[in-house]
Amino acid sequence: MISEEVKKAREASILKALEYIEDGMVIAFGTGTTMAQAVGYIKKKVQEKEMDLIFIPTSLQSRQLLLENGLRVSSLYEYPQPDLTIDSFDQSDKDGNVIKGGGGAMLMEKVVAQASKKVIFVADYLKLVERLSIPVPLEILKEAYPHVNRVLTQMKLILKLRESTGKIGPVISENGNLLGDVDAGEIEDPEGLDNLLRSIAGILETGLFPKLADKIIIGEKDNSIKEINIARKKLKL
């Protein structure tokens, strides 16, 4: 259960992020409880300002929320370079390295973060830490699981597949792959760990987002805002 204090802090970060939305934008929209909270504020702004916006959702959940609120939805096929990504996260350090993927949508979330002209991540004060430490989400090709598990075990990293509460067996991503989490303890080198994990054949994506946003907005306990500007790592072409 999320406390009212945390909800208010999230609200503050969301409202600040919405200041960066301009009429006519194509916006990639993330997944999770914070983003679900954001939909109502976005709908209100669109109606009040009579804005024409198009949204690219990163999951079925986000797509349904956007459509239920009367917001226009499209895809990267029509708009391969969104103007802006707005997304939340599970944990961030003060250097702008982020762990995402608690909702299992990190593959598409990383795609739109790389594709977008500008990326803003929002969260409450509980998500900001000195050093990343929560388990890292992984999306794993089903047939590759024995290999991936063996290699991670040899690296002394413990992989736990996510178990479903609604059916027997593991949780499957929207892409038809396994979802798991690997505990790496405190992460000294997020980019290095991301590269290492993705070098293992069968790991399709990780929840490590090393400096992939331009700005992180944190809602504080008193509803004030902390903005962290980041030298975003872009794809080198």
Q: What is the CATH number of the domain that holds 22?
A: 3.40.50.1360
CATH at residue 156: 3.30.70.260
What is the reported pLDDT for 166?
A: 80
Please list, in sequence order, all residues whose beta carbon lies within 8 angstroms of the beta carbon of residue 17, skipping any fewer than 6 positions away: 38, 86, 120, 122, 217
Q: Are residues 35 and 65 in the same domain?
A: yes
In terms of domains, do 55 and 97 share one? yes
Q: Are residues 101 and 24 both part of a single domain? A: yes
63 and 32, same structural domain? yes
Given this model, what pLDDT does residue 229 score?
98
My answer on whether 107 and 159 are in the same domain is no
| 21/110 same-domain check | yes
With CA atoms as reference, report the closest residue to 214 among 128, 109, 86, 103.
86
Task: For residues 121 and 225, state if they share a domain.
Answer: yes
Residues 84 and 213: beta-carbon distance below 8 Å: no
Whether 160 is covered by a domain: the verdict is: yes
Q: Same domain, yes or no, for 31 and 118?
A: yes
Tens-digit pLDDT profile for residues 10-29: 999 999 999 999 999 999 99
**3 state SS for the chain:** CCCHHHHHHHHHHHHHHHCCCCCCCEEEECCCHHHHHHHHHHHHHHHHHCCCCEEEECCHHHHHHHHHCCCEECCCCCCCCCCEEEEECCEECCCCEEECCCCCCHHHHHHHHHHCCEEEEEEEHHHECCCCCCCEEEEECHHHHHHHHHHHHHCCCEEEECECCCCCCECECCCCCEEEEEECCCCCCHHHHHHHHHCCCCEEEECEEECCCCEEEEECCCCCEEEEECCCCCCCC
Residue type at 175?
A: N
pTM of the model: 0.95
Does 49 share its domain with 66? yes
Asked whether residue 150 is domain-assigned, the answer is yes
What pLDDT score does 2 carry?
Answer: 84
Q: Which residues of the chain have pLDDT under 70?
A: none
* 78 is an active site residue: no
Amino acid 188: pLDDT: 96
Q: What tokens does 83 get?
A: 């103007």
Asked, for residue 119, whether it belongs to a domain, the answer is yes
pLDDT digits (tens, 9 = 90+) for 117-137: 999 999 999 999 999 999 999
Same domain, 50 and 164: no
What's the domain count of the chain? 2
Do residues 83 and 95 both lie within one domain?
yes
70 and 123 part of one domain: yes
Which is the catalytic residue, given 11, 109, 139, 205? 109
What pLDDT score was predicted for residue 152?
Answer: 98
Contact 207, 101 (CB under 8 A): yes
- Boundaries of domain holding 72: 4-128+210-229
pLDDT given for residue 236 in this prediction = 82
Q: What is the pLDDT of residue 167?
A: 79
User: Is residue 199 situated within a structural domain?
Assistant: yes
